[in-house]
Amino acid sequence: MEIQTLSRARRLLLLYCSFFRITALVVGGGLAMLPVIEEIFVNKYKLLTREELLDMTALTQTVPGIIAINSAVYIGMKIAGVPGAIAAAAGAVTPPFTVILIIASFFPHLDPKNRYLLGVFAGIRAAVTGMILVTGCRMFRRTVKTRLEYAVVFVFFVLAIMKVSPALLILAAIPFGWCYVWWQTRRLAQAEQAADASKNSETTSNIPEHEEGGK
């Protein structure tokens, strides 16, 4: 489905219904939603690229707020502007708001030691852990490619295990990422200059001797 073929009303309806289904059926929060978001907006409708999805993942976990709502606002804004952001956010909010009202009405009357209830929550936690693990593996394969990036992942993994504040890790990653991109850009520019110089020298060496003598 091409975005150009959709009217504004259909885009808004698509965003609302998509995020309504996602938050109604996916348990586990924003990270668990990512595989479903990828399947719907990248693979099925092709409204986002995988690179845009990775950027969204990094951004929504950096800024304050709930990841699910941040993701909905980002995607809605990308597809249909401010109205799209509002429609996507409304779709993401409606199911959990309704469900939590129902649960809040009955939860005080439930037995917290009920083994069946505990079994339900244990199964949900295990499923959510698996979905988050799959999301992390996919992001790792698509993001980490060079030795330097592997080294950075290892360092930040160790720091996370040492319980360094996530805010400090994010703040430390920002200048490092900027320096890394600057270094890559500079190296690419130098490689292009070297390639141009080599091409010019080859062109000069291929000029016939009689043409050089005529000149």
- Counting as low any pLDDT under 70, the low residues of the chain are 1-6, 28-30, 202-215
Q: How far apart are CA 90 and CA 179, in angstroms?
A: 38
Return the structure tokens found at 75: 């995607």
Read out DSSP for 93-125?
Answer: HHHHHHHHHHHHHHGGGS-TT-HHHHHHHHHHH
pLDDT of residue 51: 82
**Residue 38 domain-assigned (yes or no):** yes
pLDDT of residue 13: 92
**Digit-coded pLDDT (tens) for 98-157:** 988 887 887 777 777 888 878 888 888 888 788 778 777 877 887 787 787 788 888 888
**Residue 182 domain-assigned (yes or no):** no
**Residue 47 domain-assigned (yes or no):** yes
**Residue 101 domain-assigned (yes or no):** yes
pLDDT of residue 130: 82
**Residue 152 domain-assigned (yes or no):** no
Range of the domain at 88: 1-110
pLDDT of residue 2: 55
**Residue 200 domain-assigned (yes or no):** no
Q: How far apart are CA 119 and CA 121, in angstroms?
A: 5
* Tally of domains in the chain: 1
pLDDT of residue 194: 82
Q: Is 126 helix (H, G, I), strand (E, B) or coil?
A: helix
Q: How far apart are CA 211 and CA 215, in angstroms?
A: 6
Q: How far apart are CA 117 and CA 129, in angstroms?
A: 19
Count of CB atoms situated within 10 Å of the CB of 200: 10
The total number of residues shown for the chain amounts to 215
**Residue 63 domain-assigned (yes or no):** yes
pLDDT of residue 15: 92
**Residue 180 domain-assigned (yes or no):** no
Would you give the DSSP letter of residue 3? G
Q: Is 26 helix (H, G, I), strand (E, B) or coil?
A: coil
